[in-house]
Structure 1
Amino acid sequence: MPERILLTGGTGFFGRRIAEALKARGHTVVTPGRPDFDMMDPASTLRTLEQVKPETVVHSAAHYGGLGICVAEPIPIFHRNVLMGVNLFDAASKVGVKKILAVGSACAYPGQVAGDMKESDFWSGPLHPSVEAYGFTKKVLEVALRAYSRGQGIIGQMPIVTNLYGENDVFGEYRSHVAAALIKKFADAVQSNAKQVVCWGTGAPVREFIYSADAAEAVARLLESGYTEPLNVGTGIGTTIKELSEIVARLTHFQGEIVWDTTKPDGVLRKVLDVSKMESVLNWKPPTSLEAGLAKTIKWYLANKAEADARQ
């Protein structure tokens, strides 16, 4: 049944893909943005929701970045993300919103989970210090979903999304996801005829990557599923950062040496989601392989490099 949906962050990297997936399924999607819709301001947030009158809210807006920004800016990351969520949930409850889907993150999982992470592990221990400030804001959203469900009867949903990559990402190292940061590093090296590329850490950590369009399709499917427990969204496939770097080097035609700066932190050594529940609930698997998705992303980046590099 088509719904009227207010989507936060709808012009951002992941949000625009979610908007496309929802519209393709017949939903009416409204994507207000600043300055008219300032989620740091409770009055602006309430005013926007009163004007839009959504049945459903999908909350994908976030102040985020890679490991660099998580380490350097824990206070802004925590403050902005919690305040946006608090203001949004409060406004939604006042205008009669029936359903809220809040996009979660694998960063919210405990830092020392052994093996692939299951939804039942979500509250089983402390977060890794490198991503604690950001990850805990996603735990706050999960608690908010339960609180507003009990107190107001609002249906709550949370996809716990693994590492994203794709077109329209932020490619500067400071704010980028790891895949985008590597794409820029190797593309710049090819452009400047550099003989080597220096990458963070040891290359040993294992991560999982999902193409942004696939993750957005999972969000759209979850919204329509009626499933109300947190749900992992990923591929279930682990790739070392070294392997990822080698794939990106090959796809960008970099011929030089990859050097590892071991003075930089690795973060959690393994972070891969158990996606068996996702496959069962959504009756679906992400169709895009890592190599195919990276090839699409690199093609877009090279065609839009100046614009992409200017994004902050």
Structure 2
Amino acid sequence: MPDRILLTGGTGFFGRRIAETLRERGHTVVTPGRPDFDLMDPSSTRRTLEQVRPDTVVHSAAHYGGLGICVAEPVQIFQRNVIMGVNLLDAASKVGVKKFLTIGSACAYAGSVNGDMKESDFWSGPLHPSVEAYGFTKKVMEVGMRAYNRGTGMIGQMPIVTNLYGEHDVFGEYRSHVAAALIKKFADAVIEKKKQVVCWGTGAPVREFIYSGDAAEGVALLLASGYSEPLNLGTGIGTSIKELSEIVARLTRFDGEIVWDRTKPDGVMRKVLDVSKMKSVLDWTPPTSLEAGLARTIKWYMAHKAEADARA
């Protein structure tokens, strides 16, 4: 049965892909934005939900970015994300929303987890200091959804999403995810005929990457499943930052030297999700390979470079 869905962050990098995917499945998706819909204002949030009257809320709006912004803006990241999430949960419960899905993050896992991260590890220890402020806001939302479920019956869902990349991402170094930051670095180097690209850290950390279109499909499948525990959403495939850099260099046709700035932080040394439960619950595996997804992203970026670089 198609739902009437209110989607926050519906014009953002990931939100627009979620909107497209849900509409393809027959849902009515409403994506209100500022100034009329201000998630930092509880009255504005409540008023908008009363006007839309959704069956389901999908919360993909966030104040976020890569390692740079997580280190530079811990207060803003914590404050804005917690306030937006709590305002939305409360308003949704008061207008009779049946289901609330919030986008989680692998940043919410303990920094000391060894091996691939299972859902049972979600509360196993402190977060890595570099992403603590952002990651803990996802834990706040899980606790909040459980509280509202007990108090009002509203069902909560949370896909724990690994590193995203794809078209319409933020490519500037300060707010970008690692894949987008590398794409811009290497594309700029080719355009400017540079013989050297400097990358952060040692290149040794291992990360997992999922194409945004695949992740949106996973969100839609989770929504339809009714599964109400946090669920890892990723590929389960680890790639070192060095390997990622080399793939991006090849796809952008950069033939110079890659230099590693070891004064910059690496972050957690390994962050890969165990996706066995995802495959079981959703009967699904993300179809896009890292190379194919990066090739699509780079093609889009080069065709829209001025517009993409202007995004803050």
The Cα offsets for residues 272-310 of structure 1, whole Å up to 9 and x where unpaired, read as 000000001000000000000000000000000000000
* Cα separation, 2, equivalents of 1:143 and 1:10: 24
Q: How do 1:143-158 and structure 2 match up within 5 A?
A: 143-158=143-158
SS of equivalent residue, structure 1 residue 160: strand
Residue 255 of structure 1: aligned partner = 255
Residue 109 of structure 2: aligned partner = 109
Residue 131 of structure 2: aligned partner = 131
* Cα separation, 2, equivalents of 1:209 and 1:45: 33
Residue 268 of structure 1: aligned partner = 268
The Cα offsets for residues 68-100 of structure 1, whole Å up to 9 and x where unpaired, read as 000000000000000000100111111111100
* Cα separation, 2, equivalents of 1:94 and 1:114: 41
Q: Does residue 187 of structure 2 align to residue 187 of structure 1? A: yes
The Cα offsets for residues 224-268 of structure 1, whole Å up to 9 and x where unpaired, read as 001001000000000000000000000000010000000000000
* Cα separation, 2, equivalents of 1:75 and 1:135: 13
Amino acid at match of 1:287: P
Q: How do 1:1-312 and structure 2 match up within 5 A?
A: 1-312=1-312
Percent identity, aligned pairs only?
84
* Cα separation, 2, equivalents of 1:136 and 1:302: 35
* Cα separation, 2, equivalents of 1:147 and 1:213: 31
Which segments of 5 or more consecutive residues in structure 1 lack a partner in the other structure? Answer: none
* Cα separation, 2, equivalents of 1:227 and 1:65: 28
Deviation at 1:207, TM superposition (A): 0.1
* Cα separation, 1, equivalents of 2:145 and 2:183: 36
* Cα separation, 1, equivalents of 2:226 and 2:70: 33
* Cα separation, 1, equivalents of 2:23 and 2:108: 29
The Cα offsets for residues 103-140 of structure 1, whole Å up to 9 and x where unpaired, read as 00000000010100000000000000000000000000
The Cα offsets for residues 158-181 of structure 1, whole Å up to 9 and x where unpaired, read as 000000000000000000000000
SS of equivalent residue, structure 1 residue 45: helix
SS of equivalent residue, structure 1 residue 13: coil
Q: TM-score, normalised by structure 1?
A: 1.00
* Cα separation, 2, equivalents of 1:300 and 1:171: 12
* Cα separation, 2, equivalents of 1:98 and 1:299: 40
The Cα offsets for residues 29-51 of structure 1, whole Å up to 9 and x where unpaired, read as 00000011000001110010000
Amino acid at match of 1:180: A
* Cα separation, 2, equivalents of 1:31 and 1:108: 26
SS of equivalent residue, structure 1 residue 100: strand
Amino acid at match of 1:78: F
SS of equivalent residue, structure 2 residue 160: strand
Amino acid at match of 1:59: H
* Cα separation, 1, equivalents of 2:237 and 2:261: 25
Q: TM-score, normalised by structure 2?
A: 1.00
Aligned residues: CA RMSD: 0.3
* Cα separation, 1, equivalents of 2:24 and 2:283: 18
* Cα separation, 1, equivalents of 2:41 and 2:145: 20
Which segments of 5 or more consecutive residues in structure 2 lack a partner in the other structure? Answer: none
Deviation at 1:219, TM superposition (A): 0.2
* Cα separation, 2, equivalents of 1:97 and 1:159: 19
Aligned length: 312
